[in-house]
């Protein structure tokens, strides 16, 4: 599916859009507009809630948007129904993609980062709120979220993984350094939690601490330190 099909007021009504959303759409797009154009306008106008609702209702597209230059704008939000590719890095307020997010450098958001498929960065991934991917999450450096980190497949970081809430993966969780969670750390059934993969075993107590409210059932490596309540 491509993002150039037309959204009309009647289509929004059929999807169950709220009256406020219908009024705003009719005001801005009296003759209707392309799907991705509507998502972009929602992002630009600060109505991430409207854009997120529409993307969740209509679903992802096969479009690819590539940013060749570094994107650095703490007030910018991006809502894209397809794949997002950042040749360099990206630092914005919030990002949501219907499919994957990939950056040559780092991915940072003051609020949340969410992708229907995978999230991958050559360096680190950091969000003030949550990080969520339908597939895997992978970073050359660390992964850090103010809220939770969740992936449908595996989570892998060259350095540490840290979440204010829980860390959950459908497959394995691997970190070059330590793994810390405000709540629990959970890997998929039959997979393991690996910390300290880039650190000598003798240095685990200092650089490869695994910390959460409860010890992960399938902790394979790293120095376990129960979180102080």
Mean pLDDT of the chain: 97
pLDDT range class, residue 228, cuts 50, 70, 90 = low
Instruction: Quote the pLDDT of residue 229.
Output: 57
| Contact between 195 and 226 (Cβ < 8 Å) | no
pLDDT range class, residue 227, cuts 50, 70, 90 = confident
pLDDT at residue 195 is higher than 90: yes
Give Cβ neighbours of residue 30 (< 8 Å, ≥ 6 apart). Answer: none
Strand (E) or helix (H) holding 48: helix 48-58
pLDDT range class, residue 83, cuts 50, 70, 90 = very high
β-strand 143-145 against 161-163: which pairing, if any? parallel
Tens digit of each residue's pLDDT (9 = 90 or more) over 89-109: 999 999 999 999 999 999 999
C-alpha distances in Å from residue 15, one per residue of 19, 22, 58, 123, 186: 12, 11, 9, 39, 35
Domain boundaries, given as residue ranges, for the chain: 6-48, 60-141, 155-229
**Residues above pLDDT 70, as percent of the chain:** 99
CA 82 from centre of chain: 14
């Amino acid at each position: 599916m491509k993002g150039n099909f037309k959204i009309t007021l009647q289509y929004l009504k059929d999807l169950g859009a709220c009256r406020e959303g219908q009024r705003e759409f009719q005001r801005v797009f009296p003759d209707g507009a392309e799907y991705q154009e509507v998502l972009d306008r929602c992002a630009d106008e600060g109505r991430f809630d409207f854009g997120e609702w529409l993307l969740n209702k209509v679903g992802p597209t096969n479009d690819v948007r590539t940013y060749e230059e570094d994107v650095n704008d703490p007030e910018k939000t991006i809502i894209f129904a397809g794949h997002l590719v950042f040749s360099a890095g990206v630092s914005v307020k919030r990002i949501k993609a219907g499919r994957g997010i990939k950056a040559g450098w780092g991915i940072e958001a003051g609020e949340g980062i969410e992708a229907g498929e995978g999230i991958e960065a050559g360096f680190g991934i950091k969000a003030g709120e949550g990080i969520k991917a339908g597939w895997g999450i992978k970073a050359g450096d660390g992964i850090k979220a103010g809220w939770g980190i969740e992936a449908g497949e595996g989570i892998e970081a060259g350095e540490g993984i840290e979440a204010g809430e829980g860390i959950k993966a459908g497959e394995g969780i691997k970190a070059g350094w330590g793994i810390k969670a405000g709540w629990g750390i959970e890997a998929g059934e039959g997979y393991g939690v690996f910390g300290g993969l880039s650190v000598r075993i003798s240095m685990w107590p200092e650089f490869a601490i695994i910390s959460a409210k409860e010890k992960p059932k399938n902790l394979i490596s790293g120095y376990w330190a129960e979180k102080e309540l």
